[in-house]
Amino acid sequence: MLFARQDLLAQEDGHLAPYAVRSSQTRGRAYPEPESRYRTPFQKDRDRVNHTTAFRRLQYKTQVFVNFEGDYYRTRLTHTLEVAQVARSIARALGLNPDLTETIALAHDLGHPPFGHAGEAVLNELMREHGGFDHNKQSLRIVTHLEKRYPGFRGLNLCWESREGIIKHETRYTLPEAEGYEPHLRPSLEAQIVNLADEIAYYAHDLDDGLRSGLLRPPQLGEVELLRDLLGELGLRPEGLEELGRRVFIRELLGLLITDTIHATHQILQAHRIESPEAVRHHPGPLAGYSPGLTQQLEHLRAFLYENFYQHPYVVRQVGKSRFVLERLFAAYTQEPRVLPREVQKAAQEEGIHRAACDYIAGMTDRFALDEYARLFEPGFYR
């Protein structure tokens, strides 16, 4: 038995919740083109994101630890894959469109520069007089302009809903600027789920990497109510937490957060009688969320990670190094554009040297940025 695109669209119509975005109702692509014979439009979007150069580069971009610091720490790519897994699990339980959800999840960090959030802050500061830098905008810029894979248009020509979900990716620290994508309205529930999945993945894998690295010590877990209670339920003692116990603990924490999000979001949707994608968009606030009790506990976990992990002296030193490298690269490129590759020099003629240099740096992996610094500033380095 074969399932062609029309069969898959019919399956969506029959099985998705009324508030889910259906592929058959997409607002379409910027450039008309034939759809796939055996894929829905959002499945096609997902596959296009997977095959981009920007997606592959995430393998060598910082999550918390710079790429060369160890083979087992999360990178920006493994973080993205974990976000996609969490988001799919939540989306399926709520009857949402898993393909649109996965597309947004896989694309949400394409625009991250080398060295993680520290790199983003540096580029935003350097570009202050030239339009700034924001990784959400850069992700959209990649899929609409920078990736060159098709003869008829620039970018990936994704569906409107996929592009909207990328530009409206929201965290508690940043609110998106979504000019051209109905900024006065909320994004789809699929996009809202990706926002939460991003947080959930951070909580679990940053805690895991902190413990694995030794920057966080198991006895410290008892300082956080959520972690202390979960350890007790699992019969684990913080001071005696070994590798297998840590893996069980992180897995159960992830499951707890996912389950709470499913139940809490379902209750919110029922309470507000949300019965269509339009009702989602016009609702005054986000509809995806945690239960009130877990929300408060996560505030404590966030503060714990910030104080004991993100602000650990070792991490802060690496942030300082990355700032120095990116500032020197940006200065070298903007002061002497001839050191840039020919295609970047050509882009500078069209868009200005500052934006072209910023795009070039943002696309670098950690390793390439460090090698490029050595090529420019270290005598005897010719690789």
Same domain, 212 and 308: yes
Q: Identify residue 323 by its one-letter amino acid code.
A: R
**Residue 306 shares a structural domain with residue 330:** no
Confirm whether 260 is domain-assigned: yes
**Mean pLDDT calculated for residue range 24-33:** 96
- The enclosing domain of 71 has a CATH number of 1.10.3210.10
User: What does the alpha-carbon distance between residue 319 and residue 258 come to, in Å, rounded to a whole number?
Assistant: 31
Q: What is the mean pLDDT of residues 62-69?
A: 60
- C-alpha 198/C-alpha 203 separation (Å) is 9
96 and 119 in a single domain? The answer is yes
Q: Where are the alpha helices (DSSP H) in 127-274?
A: 135-141, 160-167, 189-213, 225-234, 243-271
3-class DSSP state of 2: coil
- Between the alpha carbon of residue 322 and those of residues 77, 114, 184, 210, 256, the distances in Å are 19, 8, 36, 20, 35
19 part of a folded domain: no
Tell me what percent of the residues of the chain surpass a pLDDT of 90: 81
Confidence band (pLDDT; 50, 70, 90) for 4? Answer: very high
Last residue in a domain, options 299, 315, 331: 315
Domain check: are 311 and 322 in the same one? Answer: no
Sign of CA dihedral 280, 284, 290, 293: negative
Question: Per the domain annotation, does 359 fall within a domain?
Answer: yes
Tell me which of 186-195, 310-319, 342-351 is least confident: 310-319
Domain boundary among 271, 300, 315: 315
Q: Which domain holds residue 325?
A: 316-376
| Same domain as 277, residue 356 | no
Q: What is the DSSP letter of 310?
A: I
63 and 74 Cβ atoms separated by less than 8 Å: yes
Are the C-beta atoms of residues 359 and 347 closer than 8 Å to each other?
A: yes
Q: Which of 175, 7, 39 is nearest to 103 (CA)?
A: 39
Cβ neighbours for 26, distance < 8 A, ≥ 6 positions apart: 41, 42, 159, 160, 161
- Which of 267, 289, 315 terminates a domain? The answer is 315
- Residues 343, 363, single domain; the answer is yes
198 vs 61, more confident: 198
Q: Would 354 be classed as within a structural domain?
A: yes
One domain for residues 110 and 87: yes
Same domain, 181 and 72: yes
For the chain, the average pLDDT equals 92
* Residue 258 domain flag: yes
Which amino acid type is present at position 160?
A: W
pLDDT tens digits for range 241-278: 888 989 999 999 999 999 999 999 999 999 999 999 99
- Residue 26's alpha-carbon distances to 33, 152, 161, 294, in angstroms, are 14, 21, 7, 35
Q: What is the pLDDT of residues 155-205, one digit of tens each?
A: 999 999 999 999 998 765 455 677 889 999 999 999 999 999 999 999 999
| 185 and 58 in a common domain | yes
How many domains does the chain contain in total? 2
Residue 6 is assigned to a structural domain of this protein: no
pLDDT reading at 383 higher than 80: no
From the centroid of its chain, how far is CA 115?
14
170 in a structural domain: yes
Q: What confidence score (pLDDT) does residue 173 get?
A: 46
Contact 133, 120 (CB under 8 A): yes
In terms of pLDDT, which residue wins out, 334 or 177?
Answer: 334
Residues 252 and 362 grouped into a single domain: no
Report if residue 193 sits inside a domain: yes
β-bridge partners, 150: 153
283 and 356 together in one domain: no
Does one domain contain both 183 and 226? yes
| Averaged pLDDT for residues 73-85 | 91
Cα gap 361→61, rounded to integer Å:
12
At residue 209's C-alpha, the angle toward residues 208 and 215, to 5°, is 110
Query: Length of the chain, please?
Result: 383
